[in-house]
A = this chain, B = another copy of it.
Amino acid sequence: MYDRLLQHIAARVRLTVRESEECTGYFLHRSVRKRQYLLQEGDVCRQIAFVGDGCLREFTVDHTGTEHTLQFAIAGWWISDLNSFLSGRPSAHNIVAVHDSSVLLLDKEGREKLFAAVPKMERYFRLLLEANHVASHKRINETLSASAEERYLSFLKTYPALIEQVPQHQIASFLGITPQSLSRIRRELIHRHP
């Protein structure tokens, strides 16, 4: 269970065996069944989650009741509402399991202790956040410059693992279009391509 996390860390910083063992103690394992919430709007996000297995989704609900997907997270990804986690204020986001999943949770106190005990983990998180920043900028740039069809094609290329794991209407809500529009885009693509 912790293997995937240690592997993920090892790909970014070099820990000794002792440090690796130290690390895992700060994490709490938890299983999340399909449709179960890890975070509900209105609650404070107390932990950040490393996905060991399965698939989670972070989304908001607007005043009309429509969902908007901020992020998917499959095995080897992190997910949380960092805004609420850092500020301690109630979250406006939801995090829910798309499939049965298992996650490793790290709370604020645990993370600070972890940084103190294994300073290299500070670097690990910095590297994570840098990669995240790059991905966010890419996504923002695409929403500014690309059509819905182009964004869908880019999604297919960037997250091939997701297309089979999440229902189409959730992909639509990630792309910022309605399920109907995505359906039509796909029809059009199939019609034009073999």
Contact = CB atoms under 8 A, between A and B. Distances in A.
A1 interface: no
A15 interface: no
Interface in A150-176: 173, 176
Interface in A135-153: 136-141, 143-145
Contacts of A122: 122-123, 126
B176 A134 contact: no
Contacts of A145: 60, 62, 66, 68
Interface of chain A: mostly helix, strand, loop or mixed:
helix
A119 interface: yes
Instruction: Count identical subunits in the complex.
Output: 2
B139 A140 contact: yes
A133 B134 contact: no
Contacts of A70: 137, 140-141, 144
Interface of A: 60, 62, 66, 68-71, 82-83, 86, 115, 119, 122-123, 125-126, 129-130, 132-134, 136-141, 143-145, 173, 176
A86 B141 CA distance: 18
Contact of A134 (B60, B71, B86): B86
Contacts of A60: 141, 144-145
Instruction: Identify the 10 closest CB pairs spanning chains A and B, nearest first.
Output: A129-B129, A136-B136, A68-B144, A126-B126, A62-B145, A83-B134, A144-B176, A68-B145, A143-B143, A122-B122
